[in-house]
Structure 1
Amino acid sequence: MNTMPIYFRNTPVTEPFTFDSIGNNWIQDQMNRPKGYPKYHYLQTEKGRGILKVQGKKYTLNPHEGLLIAPFIPHFYYSSDTSWQTTFITFTGTIESSISQLLDNRQIIFVEKELGIQLGAIISQMVENYETHPEDSLSISMDCYRILMHLSNGIHTQDLMKEPLYQRYVAPVIREIERHYDQNLTVQSLSRQVYITPQYLSRLFQKFLGCSTYEYLTTYRINKAKEYLMLHQRMEVQEIAGKTGFLDTSHFIAMFRKQTGVTPLEFRKIN
């Protein structure tokens, strides 16, 4: 296996999102792009430390910290350590033009360590999967979408983490949902974990995220169900319901239809 894997797309673009280039364990050289890069470009430190200058600002990228840069934004980066090792991905796809809207038209997004660990793991898994199954374009597209959604969510989370009530009550509940969405979570059990009433927790979710705790939990589970439906074509709907925390298949189908307008099987056919 290549110790410094890097791959460039060499087939026609047929998926909504995919990579134009991707790599990890990369010994990063100095790079000066006075006209920017033509794609959305995410660069993250694995080891060492790098300096990135863009739009008059200087960013220090410590391990697991990263920066997403929009197309054609001039930038310059270099190592501030003996060796700077990076992970990176650039994005393309049939709906590439929608990325800016997905990211609130941000030209620069700084990624802190906690999110960077998640993104680095996804990119590393993508590289490993591409080495063994380069034809699996659907899985690649889903992973690219996951990265973009993490970046989109990270925009709002960075601002919200400045809010004491969000940090104390809402953020721990979101982490619990992300880790254990497949288990028998309820608004009551989640609120007990942060020692407040279910009603107050839902008011906080509504204030900061625009939805109730139950709506957030259900939406997260439905999004996970979409991944199962697309990536595991032979998995039964009943099994997907169980894997995403729904105890009753009929309830799962009803909630899925309410959120998406179609049944799980119709969603699978469409996609």
Structure 2
Amino acid sequence: MYLIYHRNSVMDNLAKGQFFGHSRNEMVVNGLTVVQSAYHNLTSCPWHYHENAYFAFTTSGHLLETYKRKDIALSAGSLTYHYSQEPHCNSRYSPYVSALHVDIDERWFDRCDLRHTRPEGLWELQSPDLKIIFARLLAEAKQGGTEQGIGTESLVLTAFSKMLQLREFSDHKPAWQEKIKELLYAHYDETLSLTSIASELQLHPVYLCQQFPKLFQCTLSEYVRKIRIEKATERLMNRDPISLTSLAYACGFSDQSHFIRLFKKHTGLIPLAFRKLVQ
């Protein structure tokens, strides 16, 4: 489908699977509609809302998304979840923007027994786990194949499982949880020691090692690796011309082979194959 925005037009409601821009490679599976959308030299789109809940994974470029109470700056690697009927508009598009959308029919929530636990409202999803899931979903969408439907639904279900875990721990998270996330993102490309991290947080290293997996569902070292993969996918999606060796070092990996091995483990593709798909 191709929705063209005219300055004087009004579009209050976008039906199932509809998104502004040029939508291509649409796939429908059991109530999920996966759409890859491209925005060529679009300046803005009007206030609107969507009939269904959906995920939006920005895969290149940048833009500003405006809601009644906040603005969200989106760029390659940004991931959001929108409950249905959330009014918003978009502006400040870079010359070329693309996104992967997953539109979710109400019946899908019922069929997967998620109606009473599904998230509501607007979620800015910062978890490297979730962003890697959608990088993998992007690879699935671009590769196609008869097994794509099963893979897509499995990944979306995994994403909701991760989101519910995040919500479960959000009500009783310790004060240092956000601080350690900021610390790890700020220094993901460096070699950090457990003692230096614990000292910065004013925590005992043993206590930190015990509590971190409860809050993040993985070890501290695993979390750092996921951030590095997240950052590498962002640069690949933004068509960074850097060599894979330089990219590996820039993202904190010890060497290219280590980077390739971990990238494939998390996304299902080696970096070169992922780069070719997104280009």
TM-score between both structures, scaled by the size of structure 1: 0.51
Mapped partners of 2:259, 2:99: distance in 1: 33
CA distance in 2, matches of 1:213, 1:205: 7
SS at 2:89 equivalent: strand
Give the direction of change, closer, same or farther, for the CA distance of 1:196–1:238 in structure 2 (3 Å limit).
same
Give me the whole-angstrom Cα distance separating, in 2, the residues matched to 1:69 and 1:231. Answer: 27
Structure 1 position 216, deviation (Å): 0.8
**2:36 maps to which residue?**
18
Deviation, 1:25, is 8.2
Contact 1:109 1:155 in 2 (8 A): no
Structure 1 CA distance, aligned partners of 2:180 and 2:8? 38
Q: Given the alignment of the two structures, is residue 40 of structure 1 paired with residue 54 of structure 2, yes or no?
A: yes
Partner SS, residue 167 of structure 1: coil
Structure 2: which 5+ runs fail to align?
A: 1-5, 12-18, 28-33, 57-63, 73-79, 92-97, 127-137, 143-155
Partner of 2:83: 69
Matches within 5 A, 1:38-187: 38=52, 40=54, 46=66, 49=68, 62-64=69-71, 68-70=82-84, 75=85, 86-87=88-89, 108-111=119-122, 115=124, 156-163=165-172, 166-187=173-194
- Name whichever structure is richer in strand by fraction: 2
- Aligned partners of 2:199 and 2:260: how far apart in 1? 28
Secondary structure of 1:175's counterpart equals: helix
Opposite residue 111 of structure 1, the aligned amino acid is L
**Residue type matched to 1:210 in 2?**
Q
| Corresponding residue for residue 210 of structure 2 | 203
SS of the counterpart of 1:87? Answer: strand
Per-residue CA distance 1:29-79 (angstroms, 9 max, x = gap): 8x8xxxx7156388x9847x5xxxxxxxxxxxx334998224xxxx597xx
* Separation in structure 2 between the aligned mates of residue 169 and residue 254 of structure 1, nearest angstrom: 32
RMSD: 5.2
Percent identity, aligned pairs only, is 20
Total equivalences in the alignment:
204
Are residues 4 and 108 of structure 1, via their aligned partners in 2, closer, same or farther at CA, if it must alter by over 3 Å?
farther
TM-score (norm 2): 0.50
TM-aligned CA deviation for residue 155 of structure 1: 5.4
Q: Structure 1 residues 195, 94: closer, same or farther in 2, change over 3 A?
A: closer
Aligned-pair CA distance for 1:172: 1.4
Which consecutive residues of structure 1, in runs of 5 or more, have no partner in the other structure?
50-61, 78-85, 119-136, 142-147
